[in-house]
Amino acid sequence: MLNFSKLAIVLAAASMMAACGKKEEAAPAPTPAPAPAPAVAPQSTVEVLHWWTSGGEAKSVAELKRIMQDKGHAWKDFAVAGGGGDNAMTVLKSRVVAGNPPAAAQIKGPAIQEWASEGVLANLDETAKAENWDTLLPTVVADVMKYNGNYVAAPVNVHRVNWMWANKAVLDKAGVTSVPKTWPEFFAAADKVKKAGLIAVAHGGQNWQDFTTFEDVVLGVGGSKFYQDAMVKLDAKALTSPTMAKSLETFRKIKSYTDPASPGRDWNLATAMVIQEKAAFQFMGDWAKGEFAAAGKVPGTDYICAAAPGTANAYTFNVDSFAMFKLKDATAQKAQADLAAAIMGVEFQEVFNLNKGSIPVRLNMDMAKFDDCAKLSSTDFVATAKTGGLLPSIAHGMAIKPAAEGAIKDAVSQFWNNDKMSVADGVASIAKAAATK
């Protein structure tokens, strides 16, 4: 549960973070004198909370802002830095508890249900019906956007999480001639990179980054069924099985290929190491592609996108979405409806996802302008949906309730950061965390 009553306790900390958030918050920019006046006077200011602050992310969200401004609404950016969104969620809770929610907030996965059960989210059915969302969305996505059969969130995209990014020039320099498809092949390639004096794995230092790698490893080592049993169903037998121990061993081995400066590093700075030929590989969802794209890099030429070792037949998905908070003012409600319609509209679905590295969530979109990585993602999304290889990402809030997710992420990061912790203790602490209600 979101536990609103207990939230007051964290309010002090949260308001500090809100202050950080405000640093990023840009007031609606005044129209510079020579620029043409907007066609329509602003109808309403729409305040949108999100955590898209890296280069590629900021370019993407700017498109949503532009579309809303074209519709005559003023955009109030409520960006809370911190990849993965943990900071953003803390700040959001404090705003809602204070009775001052933003018009819209980036909320994903089972957390949508939790927020809706608190009675604070607006019903988006009217827009959804008018815009045909039921026929335009894969059922697996539509279900997550609904609470008690009513739409309460608008989906933005589909990110694939189980990607491995590689710098082509670094692989050439190290004599790695083919992209590793299994974990043993990966370690052989990583050894060559190390020998060439370069960093094999670019890694950052937050628990969601550790977990992004960890879920790749669990999937690659154990396969889709094991991933489902252990990580989604949180089955105690799977969580304490030898396969989980093997996953932790593999996970620990990856750490020996990272550089000592990784703790505390943001994910996009790790991506920059790959872009700048300092490191060979990064395990990260395809928002990393937004960084490559923003740096003018071309897939296949400058960098390679490949499924993380052992995971080519599976697809861990992460769907970004916006929920709207109940607001009394009719113009504010109109702005929310316009925002929801814009998010699912063809124009936004194309331009946003081209910048963001993800693929459109809206079905039957023309993929002509998308690159080969996005095309592969799109084909694999459809194919794995048929074979049962479509899996929710735990690291990105798609699979389990926030309390258990947070506890498991912490347990995995403790193991990652403490080389002295035995694998058996790591297994036990993850299993214990999974029981958190």
Interface residues with ligand BGC (CB under 6 A) are 51, 57, 83-85, 159, 267, 287, 318, 320, 396
The number of angstroms, rounded, from the C-alpha of 23 to the middle of its chain's C-alpha atoms is 22
Q: In this complex, which beta carbon is closest to ligand BGC, that of residue 128 or of residue 288?
A: 288
- With contact defined as beta carbons under 8 Å apart, do 51 and 82 qualify? yes
Distance (Å, whole) CA 49 – CA 364: 29
CB of 91 to ligand BGC, least distance (A): 15
Q: Which is nearer to ligand BGC, 74 or 154 (CB)?
A: 154
Query: What is the gyration radius of the CA atoms in the chain, in angstroms?
Result: 21
- Report the nearest approach of ligand BGC to the CB of residue 406 (Å): 14
Q: 209 or 241, CB closer to ligand BGC?
A: 209
CA distance 226 to 284: 21
Q: CB 320 → ligand BGC: shortest distance, Å?
A: 5
Q: 255's torsion region: left (phi>0), alpha (psi -120 to 50) or beta?
A: alpha
* Of 65 and 396, CB closest to ligand BGC: 396
Shortest distance in whole angstroms from residue 44 CB to ligand BGC? 25
- In whole angstroms, the minimum distance from the beta carbon of 334 to ligand BGC comes to 27
Phi and psi dihedrals of 40, rounded to 5?
Answer: -125, 145
Kindly state the smallest distance separating residue 243's Cβ from ligand BGC, in Å: 26
Nearest CA-CA partner of 309 in 190, 168, 164:
164
* CA atoms in the 13 A half-sphere facing the CB of 63: 19
Helices (H), 146-206: 168-174, 183-195
- Give the nearest distance from C-beta 53 to ligand BGC in angstroms: 8
Q: Which of 189, 187, 169, 170 is nearest to 178 (CA)?
A: 189
Residue from 285, 328, 297 nearest 170 by CA: 297
Taking the least distance from each CB to ligand BGC, the nearer of 206 and 429 is: 206
Tell me how far, at minimum, the Cβ of 171 lies from ligand BGC, in Å. 25
Amino acid at 37: A
For the CB of residue 201, give the shortest distance to ligand BGC in the complex, in Å: 18
CB proximity list for 110: less than 8 A, separation 6 or greater = 144, 397, 398, 399, 400, 401, 402
- Is the Cβ–Cβ distance between 232 and 391 less than 8 Å? yes
Two structure tokens written together for 405: 């997710």
Phi and psi at 352, nearest 5°, equal -65, -50
In whole angstroms, what is the distance from residue 290 CA to residue 146 CA? 28
**Nearer Cβ to ligand BGC (212/429):** 212
- The partner residues of 211 in beta bridges, in order of sequence, read none
Strand residues in 121-239 grouped as ranges (E): 146-147, 150-151, 153-155, 157-160, 163-167, 199-201
Which residue's CB is nearer to ligand BGC, number 206 or number 250? Answer: 206
- Supply the minimum distance, in Å, between the C-beta of residue 36 and ligand BGC: 32
412-437 residues labelled b (16+ CB within 10 A) or e (exposed): bbbbbeeeebebeebbebbbebbebe
Tell me the C-alpha distance between 76 and 27, whole Å: 6
Decide whether 107 or 121 has the Cβ nearer to ligand BGC: 107
Judged by beta carbon, residue 83 or residue 180, the one nearer ligand BGC is 83
Q: Least distance from C-beta 317 to ligand BGC, angstroms?
A: 10
Q: Which residue in 254, 258, 187 sits closest to 217, CA to CA?
A: 254
Closer to ligand BGC by Cβ: residue 180 or 357: 357
The nearer residue to ligand BGC, 44 or 316, going by C-beta atoms, is 316
